[in-house]
Structure 1
Amino acid sequence: MADKNLQKRSETRPTVRACCDVLENDGEITLKLEMPGVTKDGLNVNIDGDQLEIRGMRDVKRPEGGNYLIHEIREADFYQVYTIDETIDRNKIDASLKHGILTLKLGVKESQKPRKIEIAAK
């Protein structure tokens, strides 16, 4: 007979932090988050003030009939919050999901982008 506490834990959905790469390039910041098994419908990205909140739900469809010999793939919730500063243009945030990787592109405000200062020769 299985331990009841162990069974309860295995039936709950764990919340995990998505692995993330952050890249700054050409006046934008790109975040790439691993969210295997998450579909577009299971994904929610919100911005509220200086908080960028990312939630993803991975649902696992179990086949009818049969008995699992090994059952390691579980449902899971991904959750991540980033604090973004005033240099990010809230109207220039794009998101895409491909092959379990969520890509967010955060545009930097024009006034905050680096620019070259021309030097006048006299």
Structure 2
Amino acid sequence: MTTPVRRHRGGAMQDRPAGWARNPLTEFDQLLSEMSGLMESTVGGTVPAVAWTPLADVTESDDAFQVEIELPGVKSKDISVDANGQELVVTGEIKEKERKGVLRRSTRRTGAFEYRLRLPGELDTEKIDAHMSGGVLTITVPKAEAAKPRHVEISDRSESTESSG
């Protein structure tokens, strides 16, 4: 069996597409989408959706960790935040809009998403705070009292022993 070969004019290799350099993961996302559709048509029924990971920033202060996750267009009721020991798990789904007409191009992410983070040290999971503002989910995870840094004052004992003698 022979494999078809694509020939180019002038025999030169074709350069990468212009859009490839801007976002190399676009082609990978399209491939995953096509593979998911192929699996669904082959196996039948629904295939578990491949979860994507949203962009996030994690900062640490003396008393807490703050996680900011970009979730534009997601309602807070469609997000679940779970803490188990040192692990923080944020899951949810961006539902695809019902559209009229033919969709010519779509680059917005839809479907299930998951963000997992393992934080160092002891955490106070009872006091975790989460709120949505401007498409950004901000989660504050306080450190446990034992894990917080503590400043220790140094006393000078040489002065007290000299004055008593």
Normalised by the length of structure 1, the TM-score is 0.77
**Counterpart in the other structure of 1:45:** 81
Give the direction of change, closer, same or farther, for the CA distance of 1:86–1:71 in structure 2 (3 Å limit).
closer
> Secondary structure at 2:73's aligned position in 1?
coil
**How many equivalent pairs are there?**
116
Q: Higher relative CO (CA 8 A, sep ≥ 6), structure 1 or 2?
A: 1
Identity percentage of aligned residues: 27
Distance 2:121 2:61 in 1: 18
CA contact (8 A) 1:14 1:75 kept: no
Q: Which residue of 2 aligns with 1:27?
A: 63
Which 4+ runs in 1 deviate beyond 4 A? Answer: 11-14
Larger radius of gyration: 2
1:77 alignment counterpart: 112
> Which residue pairs with 1:107 in the alignment?
142
Q: What's the counterpart of residue 117 of structure 1?
A: 152
Tell me, which stretches of 5 or more residues in structure 1 are unaligned? none
Post-superposition Cα deviations, 1:67-96, rounded to whole Å, max 9, x if no partner, equal 223233342221022224551111121111
SS at match of 1:77: strand
**What per-residue deviation string (whole Å, max 9, x for no partner) do you get for residues 87-118 of structure 1?**
11111211111122111101011222112111
Q: Which secondary structure state, in structure 1, belongs to the residue aligned with residue 127 of structure 2? A: strand
Structure 2, unmatched stretches of 5+, are 1-32, 41-46, 160-165
More strand by share: 1
- More helix as a share of residues: 2
Q: Mapping of 1:84-95 within 5 angstroms?
A: 84-95=119-130
Task: Quote how far apart the aligned CAs of 1:20 are.
Answer: 1.5
CA distance in 1, matches of 2:85, 2:74: 26
Secondary structure (helix, strand or coil) at the match of 1:18 reads coil
Report the CA distance shift for 1:74/1:22 in structure 2 as closer, same or farther (over 3 A): closer
The yes-or-no answer on 1:8 pairing with 2:37 is: yes
- Answer with 79-88 or 26-35: which moved more: 79-88
